[in-house]
Amino acid sequence: MKQICVIGVGYVGLVTAACFSDLGNRVIALDISEEKIEGLKRGEMPIYEPGLAELVERNVRSGRLTFTTSYEEGLDGTEFVFIAVGTPSGVDGEADLRYVAAAAETVARTMCNPLILVNKSTVPVGTGDWVADIVRKHQPKPIPFSVVSCPEFLREGSAISDFTQPHRTVLGSLDLDAAEKVAQLHLSLRAPIVLTDLRTAEMIKYASNAFLATKISFINEIANICEALGADVKEVAVGMGYDKRIGPMFLDAGLGYGGSCFPKDVKALAYMAAEKGGHPQLLHAVMDINNDRRRMAIERITQMLGGLDGKVIGLLGLSFKPNTDDMRDAPSIDLANALMAAGAQVRATDPVAMEVARQVMPTVEMFNDVYTMAEGCDALMVVTEWNEFKQIDWNLIRSLMRQPVIFDGRNIYDPAVMQHMGFAYRAMGRGYKNGSSNGR
């Protein structure tokens, strides 16, 4: 059993702490937010993640997982310190490292025994060296330490399974012995371990997320072409996905990517490239295509309704993806703002994200169920592909709506079925199946 301190109790930090404790380690989760820590001590989760509350409760009960705001308590007898604090985007897309710097500086001033400092946050290439410099600068007296980069690859909504069944573990350090000790923490996960240097490990994270974001923007660009030429992007994606060189994942055309990772990481990588004199054309195209998806959705619903002024629009889903309450860069925010700016009244429902959503879109009327929300609506827009929305009683919905208009931003319904039920239905990239008036 090892003793681990995890700094930060957000998505990455709390999942990391809970999962490492579930592997039999003693883990102290540390955060400067007294509200979050006191809530966790009462069993209240600061985030929604399927299975996380149960995992935390089990390991707290066993005594393997504890919470604190004290660095002295967190570092006492600890061998591994994971930094898992936020790195939001700056004004120009650069990663804001103030929280990483604060954590490193406080660790330096507090540590009283040798440590392995593990960067778990997504940080720009070169941050590992920078963190080492911060620690050396602020130590009251020299104490040996090493810095290891261990980037996270956790998807919100499936973070626990991603931790326990990873595709790979990436470790980078200038100290091979330290990297191998961190590797030992992950051996029971039985996944490939990539050992490399600090900067390469940091780059693997950015390159991975940028590639996945590129794949999403690529299929959305194909969706535009499919819609113009009368092809069905859903079937195109299936045909492409059988090719093992391509694969089926991330080929779902829709409203584009959002959340805390892809938007921030693609911007940061483009910023890093530009800072070194590069011209990251592909990354800029990926971002442009993604931004265009939300604008196009507004254009489509405007066409379907003949204008938005005075219309009542219901949003099915608020979070940027299912199984999370994360509203960071969620398409629903941009859609709601654009709809209201055009004179529409906006309603919304979401299985778990409404409490968080109220803080960022207070003028949107929230409903606890789809049917109450749909009553009197001129149109519904599918924004998040929650499973709950796949089992809707559409005959009842049609009887409740003022106009039977559906814009499916996630392509979760069969166009033929929806049109047969009497809906004016349009999706993203479905070509002649969209039921548009261009002769297809």
Q: What amino acid positions are annotated as catalytic residues? A: 261
DSSP 273-325: HHHTT---HHHHHHHHHHHHHHHHHHHHHHHHHT--TT-EEEEE--SSSTT--
Between CA 89 and CA 91 the distance in angstroms is: 7
Where does residue 371 rank: exposed (0-12), middle (13-18), buried (19+ CB within 10 A)?
middle
Between CA 305 and CA 291 the distance in angstroms is: 23
CB 393 within 8 A of CB 190: no
| Residue 369 vs residues 21, 37, 317, 418: alpha-carbon distances, Å | 37, 32, 11, 20
Collect all residues with Cβ–Cβ distance below 8 Å to 421 and sequence separation of at least 6: 394, 395, 398
**280 phi, psi to nearest 5 deg:** -75, 75
Give the residue from 316, 292, 272 showing the smallest Cα distance to 406: 316
Collect all residues with Cβ–Cβ distance below 8 Å to 240 and sequence separation of at least 6: 246, 248, 251
- CA count, 13 A, side-chain hemisphere, 224: 15
Between CA 16 and CA 22 the distance in angstroms is: 10
Between CA 107 and CA 134 the distance in angstroms is: 10
**109 phi, psi to nearest 5 deg:** -75, -20
Collect all residues with Cβ–Cβ distance below 8 Å to 41 and sequence separation of at least 6: 67
Residues in the chain: 440
Give the residue from 112, 109, 116, 111 showing the smallest Cα distance to 137: 109
Collect all residues with Cβ–Cβ distance below 8 Å to 267 and sequence separation of at least 6: 89, 93, 287
CB 7 within 8 A of CB 110: no
Give the three-state DSSP class for 429.
coil
Between CA 71 and CA 5 the distance in angstroms is: 9
Chain-centroid distance of CA 140 in Å reads 38
Residue whose pair of structure tokens reads 């310190």 in the numeric block? 81
